[in-house]
Amino acid sequence: MSDSNARFPTIGILGGGQLGRMTALAAIRMGIHIKTLSPSPSGSVAPLGQAVVGDWTDEAVMEAFIDGCDVITVESEWAPAEVAEKVSNGRIPVWPASSTLLTIRHKGRQKDAIQEAGIPVGAYLACSSFQEARAALTVFGGKAVAKKFEGSYDGYGNATVTSVSDLEKAWDELASNEGLLMEAFVPFVRELAVMVARRPQGESVVYPVVETEQRDHRCHAVMAPARIRPETAAAAREAALQAASAVNLVGVLGVEFFELEDGSILLNELAPRPHNTGHYTIEACFSSQFENHARSILDLPLGSPEMRTPAAVMINILGHRAGSVRTDGLVEALSHTQAGLHVYGKEEARPKRKMGHVTITGSNLDTLRAEAEAAAHAVQL
């Protein structure tokens, strides 16, 4: 963005989830205008900016939407950035680019891009037949993770495989026409994550390395900063920057790692957008991942990713039932007076659906963890 005598810019967000919601909250704070486009009404983005509901694969809908926007972004790697690029025809930047999203959406191509950039990854094999997958399972020592090439998220579309019968089941469920991805099971001691924000010319900032804990393949807890060796942290931050460059990411990139027994790391997966492991940055960092997402896609100077507090813990709030959202437990949750409560405004709960989160900042990760767990557990959405 040039620093002209111009009006404050408008960001058009494709998507109606919590990532768009939190990006909008950060951007509006800075005077930046927000439009969102989603295929169905969304309680998460309805109260923010101008929320458009329409068929985003329809070029006429997209054409009308991008009018007045200074940049288009996505809050999901599945949003149709390519439609925005087509109708914009170069008039309005679309970040991240659809070419970046296409690489990352496909687990095989994503892994290839990471490996080609010289970043350490675990052994993997794109398997176009069941026979290949069975061979891979053997090569990987009898324990592997089978993944859909496209469409997996939050534990959907993955299966841990330790026998041929497991593999048969996984193949039936997960294989597409081109097969599926087999990854060697990594005997990690910890999962780590790093966020990167990157501008169109490549200027980047990298956030602290955090520890993440999954339950049922879903992010449950994030502890910042990670209690790891300095050289492990340096390697993860460097690999995250390399990955952002390798996929030509503009915006923010979530990078997940496995830490091995010896302190070395393997890159696990990329997410070309604000990421659950970066929610703690709202309270804990000078500029949150959402603020830096807005800054980077507008090609504005990036804010500091450093933490303003010694430590922070984030715990997700998942849905406990199906149906309209109720306020059960709000009073109890708010009684944890240092907890920052985030509720995403979704109209419908589903079991295990991400409904909100809690972040607490302070100095002792164990103390913070206990308090954040209690506050998050109190909310029964």
Is residue 302 within the footprint of a second copy (CB under 8 A)?
yes
Closest Cα to residue 376, out of 350, 340, 324, 322?
340
Q: Note the residue count of the chain.
A: 381
Closest Cα to residue 358, out of 331, 345, 333, 340?
340
Q: Which of 335, 348, 364, 367 binds a second copy (CB under 8 A)?
A: 335
The interface with a second copy within residues 23-52 (CB under 8 A) comprises: 25, 28-31, 33-34, 47-50
- 374 by DSSP, 3-state: which? helix
Quote the least distance from Cβ 295 to a second copy, whole Å. 7
Is residue 338 within the footprint of a second copy (CB under 8 A)?
yes
Q: Which of the stretches 149-157, 188-196, 212-220, 322-330 binds a second copy when contact is defined by CB under 8 A?
A: 322-330
The interface with a second copy within residues 1-20 (CB under 8 A) comprises: 1, 3-9
Is residue 301 within the footprint of a second copy (CB under 8 A)?
yes
CB 43 within 8 A of CB 345: yes
Q: Which of the stretches 95-103, 151-159, 182-190, 323-331 binds a second copy when contact is defined by CB under 8 A?
A: 323-331
Closest Cα to residue 191, out of 108, 288, 266?
266
Give strand pairing partners of 72.
Answer: 12, 94
Distances (CA, A) of 178 to 128, 175, 363: 5, 7, 49
Task: Pull the structure tokens for residue 331.
Answer: 């009073």
Q: Which of the stretches 91-99, 117-125, 255-263, 336-344 binds a second copy when contact is defined by CB under 8 A?
A: 336-344
- Crossing angle between the packed helical segments 81-88 and 98-105, to the nearest 10 degrees: 160
Is residue 200 within the footprint of a second copy (CB under 8 A)?
no
Question: In which residue are the tokens 């009018």 written?
Answer: 67
Q: What gap in Å lies between CA 276 and CA 144, rounded to an integer? A: 25
Quote the least distance from Cβ 286 to a second copy, whole Å. 5
By CB under 8 A, the count of residues binding a second copy is 54
Task: Pull the structure tokens for residue 349.
Answer: 């709960």
Question: Exposed e or buried b for every residue in 317-343, given b needs 16+ CB within 10 A?
Answer: bbbbeeeebeeebeeebeebeebbbbb
The interface with a second copy within residues 252-291 (CB under 8 A) comprises: 283, 286-287
With residue 44 as reference, give the H or E element that holds it: none
Q: Which of 65, 258, 280, 344 binds a second copy (CB under 8 A)?
A: 344
User: For 202-253, what is the HEC assignment?
Assistant: CCEEECCCEEEEEECCEEEEEEECCCCCHHHHHHHHHHHHHHHHHCCCCEEE
Task: Pull the structure tokens for residue 256.
Answer: 């997940």
Quote the least distance from Cβ 372 to a second copy, whole Å. 12
Is residue 374 within the footprint of a second copy (CB under 8 A)?
no
Q: Which of the stretches 157-165, 177-185, 214-222, 294-302 binds a second copy when contact is defined by CB under 8 A?
A: 294-302
Quote the least distance from Cβ 4 to a second copy, whole Å. 7
Is residue 306 within the footprint of a second copy (CB under 8 A)?
yes
DSSP 260: P
Is residue 225 within the footprint of a second copy (CB under 8 A)?
no
Question: In which residue are the tokens 């060697």 written?
Answer: 184
Q: What gap in Å lies between CA 260 and CA 186, rounded to an integer? A: 8
Quote the least distance from Cβ 181 to a second copy, whole Å. 37
Give strand pairing partners of 316.
Answer: 357
Q: Which of the stretches 97-105, 143-151, 190-198, 342-350 binds a second copy when contact is defined by CB under 8 A?
A: 342-350
Residue with Cβ nearer a second copy (138 or 338): 338
Is residue 128 within the footprint of a second copy (CB under 8 A)?
no
Q: Which of the stretches 115-123, 145-153, 229-237, 338-346 binds a second copy when contact is defined by CB under 8 A?
A: 338-346
Quote the least distance from Cβ 65 to a second copy, whole Å. 16
Binding region for a second copy (CB under 8 A): 1, 3-9, 25, 28-31, 33-34, 47-50, 283, 286-287, 295, 300-304, 306, 308-309, 324-332, 334-335, 337-345, 356, 361-362
